[in-house]
Structure 1
Amino acid sequence: MTLDSPHLGDGVNDTRATASDHPEVTTADLRRAAWGASAGSALEYYDFALYSLASALVFGPLFFPSDNPSTGLVLSFATYFIGFAVRPLGGIFFGRLGDRLGRKFVLLATIILMGVASTGIGLLPTYHGSEGDWYSGGVGMLAPLLLVALRICQGLGAGAEMAGASILMTEYAPKNRRGFFASLPFLGVQVGTVVAALVYFLVYFGEGQITDTWLWRVPFLASVIILAVAMYLRINLKESPTFRKLEAKDQIDHRPLQNLLEHSRPSLLRGIGLRVAENGSSSMYQALAVAYVTSAAVGVTGPIGALSLVFAASLGAIVVPIAGQLSDRFGRVKTYRAFAYFQLVSAFPIWWALSQGSVVLTIVVISLALGIGTWGMFGAQSAFLSELFGSRQRYLGVSVAREVSAVLSGGLAPLIGAWIIAMVVAADGGASVPGAGLGAWVFIAGYLCILTLITIGTTYVTPDPIDRDLNDPRDAFTAAKV
């Protein structure tokens, strides 16, 4: 089996390029692309981490008040899921534009949509209102409806944001260092996560009832700062070399969705399978774990979620580029599979540790779970997914693969987990004391293992696309058969 590289099986090619594969790309261009892609990723995951924390801690009483806190939590995570549910639509819409109008155009459009939506959440009136808020009057059911509308806008923009950032860097990078350079936008993920967690921690610190004040709005309003920086960087970007070649040869696909479904289904299905474990665990550890340890089932108090994400993202900032480099050295498949196995074997120990109600232990295990398992796969994923698809449907293919998996795993995982927590606490008579319903961790860990096994199985039926020609219009599986 060949895939433009004589070493498909082990992913190592001795005839590696020593300079850029695109003579027209200068070092300054590569640096500018890295900064521009990373800034957008920082905004997306600032929003992602912020919404995760808010869903777990404040959206319930603010927008879904209920006599039963578990009901409010489930409804809060339902809006969280809605953002994921519309991401495939955003991926299809913006992905088609990315393959027809260019990577840069879509990267600008998505960053504006996400930034405006996130800032808008900070301006929303709440269900009942509060005397300590700048908008003291409540608007009832209009409040959650407005939240859902802005969450949908977030999801539509996010549906193509990370796909575009990873494709841009993969198409810019030297062939022998695609894994490393393509992982750099994912460093923006860590930066965005840390900033969101720190902002949330500073706002939360000293405020026992943050939902009674206007302070919960501050982290969302701060999105406008990251938006301004990201827009400035992206306006000055050059289009990717691969898309410029398609334009020059008049090879742009004007029916990318139809051709993707007809010719790239094997790559598309495997891309979805590869992401199930990473996306599911990301949501479960960033959102569900925080809700679990602060619920009646465990009873931890304080800004534990924000602190955990600070340490986890700091570790992830180290692991992500290392994972990218490892994928250049040992191949995409082997590297990705190794991090997935780490997640599999650690799932039950980590969720057991979360059930113990220890602040220190919670921070340590969430840091390990996210920083190594989840974000190790994340770092190896960027070049991997981009190389699976041909040049003419690459943006759409990566977007659809990423976002369908986001619905199937990332969006559903915390919703299912919140339902499990509610059911277990209810089975204990609705106890509101620490230690009630500790058995929930077993079911949550088991669910995570199922997601991870799907990804591990996918790696065994996916050829390693390392070093393939990115200008080839064929997807990886078609090229592998030649």
Structure 2
Amino acid sequence: MPSASNTAPAQKKTSLTRVAAASSIGTTIEWYDFFIYGTAAALVFPTLFFPEQSAATATLSSFATFAVAFFARPVGAAVFGHFGDRIGRKRTLVWTLMIMGVATVFIGLLPGYETGAFGAFENGIGILAPTLLVACRFFQGFAVGGEWAGATLLTAEYAPEGKRGLMAMWPQLGVAFAFFLSSGTFLIFALVAGNDAGTDSAFMQYGWRVPFLLSAVLVLIGLWIRVSVEETPVFKKDRDIAAKTTGPKTLPFADAIRHQWKEILIAGGALTSLFSLFYMGTSFFTSYGASLGHTRPFMLAMGMVAAVVFGGAIALSAMYSDRIGRKKVIGTSVALAIVWALVVFPVLDMGSTFSFALALFVTLIIFGIAYGPAGALLPELFQARYRYTGAGLGYNLAGILGGALPPLAAAAMAAAGNTLGIGIMLSLLSAMSMMCVLAMSESSKNKVLADVEGTDSTIATEVP
């Protein structure tokens, strides 16, 4: 008969596997929904929702709707962060997943400006079409604003000592899984429905809608996995202590701003570089590649390969950060980005398929080097009572600085033929990130995540 000491490790392994799956499947689904919007913003929406504008202006308008979500993300971070710090990580994450899924399915059902959906609204619905698109996009960003922090906390607060980077890698890998799925889904339906970009093509009429509608199936799978996970032991301990504390209750958002505003600003600034590289690589490069004459199937296929490549970079950098620290790994990425940003568009402008693939792969590898440790970095910077809120605010501040504004500015500069300006902009953002990285303390040296009311208390992070 096996002893208790022999059976405990098996129980722990199973529990941690479930936690990893729940965090990864959730971020995969949320980012799948996010990425199919970015792909559609580059390939479909300029024609479908802004047909009366010139090609350059329509692309700019399309990326403006893409940017809306980034300004909604801090709102979601504050709202869901409040509930995540009060009622729990798990329950809050269920709501973020549901809201994202509903908003994404609605986008797939929207009629266009002049063309209806599935035969309905035969003549389209005019200006109401882009208005509804913006509303759906806002709710996508609102949900993602609360998703990432909760998913990373779920793994980081369960992680055994010395393995936090490894565990927090799983929600980060959801981005790579999602980019592979979104590119692959669009590729399949582009091949089946045809590569014609005209408004009367099968792809433009209904093919682009299928990836959005498939989100409903993915959300159901994600909810089934996510509800099976117990609340983190760190949060349970924090709530037990808070319940015994007398005095007025404060808001997590107010506490995070009051006590750790420097950490929020430094984290947001340090991660700006990775966001600028990622959204340029996954969204803007698709639009720019089309202007260089690359076909839609080619760019989508390259997106699938790139997802595998930067997924590997995420995994390796996350695990390595447990050995040498988060700061050194992220600093390496930012240093590479400062230089690479100045040469990426000259490489793209060579116009060959090889140069496009090279620019895409290198850009996303540099992103992956920084993104891997970020899942452990942000939870380590904040105290337990407002960790969900603080991590979410720092992450989504970086999303605005690096993910919302650069693609929008890049679209305008590309239309004017100023690709050198795009490279300089990205390099300056990375230089700003480097200053924040240098100002950052090494978070991996903080071995305890369960600090409550400013006092450290060692809490076992193993699954009970």
Whether TM-score is above 0.5 comes out as yes
The 8 Å contact of residues 304 and 363 in structure 1, kept in 2 or not, is answered as no
- In 1: Cα distance, 2:215 partner to 2:186 partner: 12
Q: Which amino acid aligns with 1:86?
A: A
Q: Which amino acid aligns with 2:379?
A: S
Aligned pair partner of 2:265 in 266, 269, 293: 269
Between stretches 143-152 and 467-476, larger displacement belongs to 467-476
Q: Tell me the residue number matched to 2:442.
A: 464
The 8 Å contact of residues 195 and 296 in structure 2, kept in 1 or not, is answered as no
How far 1:467 moved relative to its partner?
4.1
- In 1: Cα distance, 2:302 partner to 2:27 partner: 20
Q: What does the per-residue CA deviation read over 1:28-81, in whole Å, with 9 as the maximum and x for residues that have no partner?
A: 221111101101110121122211111111101111113410110011011001
Aligned pair partner of 1:449 in 427, 449, 454: 427
State the secondary structure of the residue aligned to 1:137: coil
Distance verdict in 2 for CA 1:131–1:146, change over 3 Å: closer
> Given the alignment of the two structures, is residue 250 of structure 1 paired with residue 250 of structure 2, yes or no?
no
The 8 Å contact of residues 176 and 467 in structure 1, kept in 2 or not, is answered as no
Q: Which amino acid aligns with 1:50?
A: I
The 8 Å contact of residues 267 and 475 in structure 1, kept in 2 or not, is answered as no
- In 2: Cα distance, 1:98 partner to 1:24 partner: 29
Cα-Cα RMSD: 2.1
- In 2: Cα distance, 1:225 partner to 1:131 partner: 20
- In 2: Cα distance, 1:288 partner to 1:310 partner: 16
- In 2: Cα distance, 1:328 partner to 1:272 partner: 21
How far 1:25 moved relative to its partner?
8.0
Matches within 5 A, 1:109-128: 109-128=95-114
Distance verdict in 2 for CA 1:131–1:343, change over 3 Å: closer
Distance verdict in 2 for CA 1:71–1:475, change over 3 Å: farther
- In 1: Cα distance, 2:174 partner to 2:97 partner: 13
Q: What does the per-residue CA deviation read over 1:200-254, in whole Å, with 9 as the maximum and x for residues that have no partner?
A: 1111123313643211101111111211111001111100111010122225964
Looking at secondary structure, tell me which structure has more helix per residue. 2
State the identity %. Answer: 32
The 8 Å contact of residues 121 and 150 in structure 1, kept in 2 or not, is answered as yes
Matches within 5 A, 1:384-399: 384-399=377-392
TM-score (norm 2): 0.90
Q: Tell me the residue number matched to 2:29.
A: 43
- In 2: Cα distance, 1:94 partner to 1:377 partner: 25
The 8 Å contact of residues 110 and 117 in structure 2, kept in 1 or not, is answered as no
The 8 Å contact of residues 72 and 138 in structure 2, kept in 1 or not, is answered as yes
Q: Tell me the residue number matched to 2:458.
A: none
Q: Tell me the residue number matched to 1:428.
A: none
Structure 2 residues without counterparts, runs of 5 or longer: 456-464
Q: Tell me the residue number matched to 1:228.
A: 220
How far 1:384 moved relative to its partner?
0.7
Q: Tell me the residue number matched to 1:327.
A: 321
State the secondary structure of the residue aligned to 1:45: helix
State the secondary structure of the residue aligned to 2:123: coil
How far 1:397 moved relative to its partner?
0.1
TM-score (norm 1): 0.87
State the secondary structure of the residue aligned to 1:175: coil
How far 1:300 moved relative to its partner?
2.8
- In 1: Cα distance, 2:143 partner to 2:218 partner: 15
The 8 Å contact of residues 133 and 214 in structure 1, kept in 2 or not, is answered as no
Q: Which amino acid aligns with 1:408?
A: L
- In 2: Cα distance, 1:248 partner to 1:261 partner: 24
- In 2: Cα distance, 1:87 partner to 1:135 partner: 32
Q: Tell me the residue number matched to 1:4.
A: none
> Given the alignment of the two structures, is residue 216 of structure 1 paired with residue 208 of structure 2, yes or no?
yes
Q: Tell me the residue number matched to 2:347.
A: 353
The 8 Å contact of residues 315 and 367 in structure 1, kept in 2 or not, is answered as yes
- In 1: Cα distance, 2:128 partner to 2:342 partner: 41
The 8 Å contact of residues 116 and 125 in structure 2, kept in 1 or not, is answered as no
Q: Which amino acid aligns with 1:348?
A: L
State the secondary structure of the residue aligned to 1:303: helix
- In 2: Cα distance, 1:192 partner to 1:248 partner: 37
The 8 Å contact of residues 204 and 210 in structure 1, kept in 2 or not, is answered as no
The 8 Å contact of residues 103 and 239 in structure 1, kept in 2 or not, is answered as yes
Aligned pair partner of 1:91 in 70, 77, 87: 77
> Given the alignment of the two structures, is residue 473 of structure 1 paired with residue 459 of structure 2, yes or no?
no
- In 2: Cα distance, 1:400 partner to 1:446 partner: 27
The 8 Å contact of residues 166 and 322 in structure 2, kept in 1 or not, is answered as yes
> Number of aligned pairs?
438
Q: What does the per-residue CA deviation read over 1:451-473, in whole Å, with 9 as the maximum and x for residues that have no partner?
A: 11111111111110114210113
The 8 Å contact of residues 260 and 382 in structure 2, kept in 1 or not, is answered as yes
Structure 1 residues without counterparts, runs of 5 or longer: 1-18, 425-436, 477-482
- In 2: Cα distance, 1:210 partner to 1:63 partner: 13
- In 1: Cα distance, 2:367 partner to 2:120 partner: 39
- In 2: Cα distance, 1:474 partner to 1:312 partner: 43
> Given the alignment of the two structures, is residue 381 of structure 1 paired with residue 374 of structure 2, yes or no?
yes
Q: Which amino acid aligns with 2:441?
A: P
Distance verdict in 2 for CA 1:113–1:25, change over 3 Å: farther
The 8 Å contact of residues 134 and 214 in structure 1, kept in 2 or not, is answered as no
Q: Tell me the residue number matched to 2:282.
A: 286
The 8 Å contact of residues 175 and 467 in structure 1, kept in 2 or not, is answered as no
Between stretches 124-133 and 219-228, larger displacement belongs to 124-133
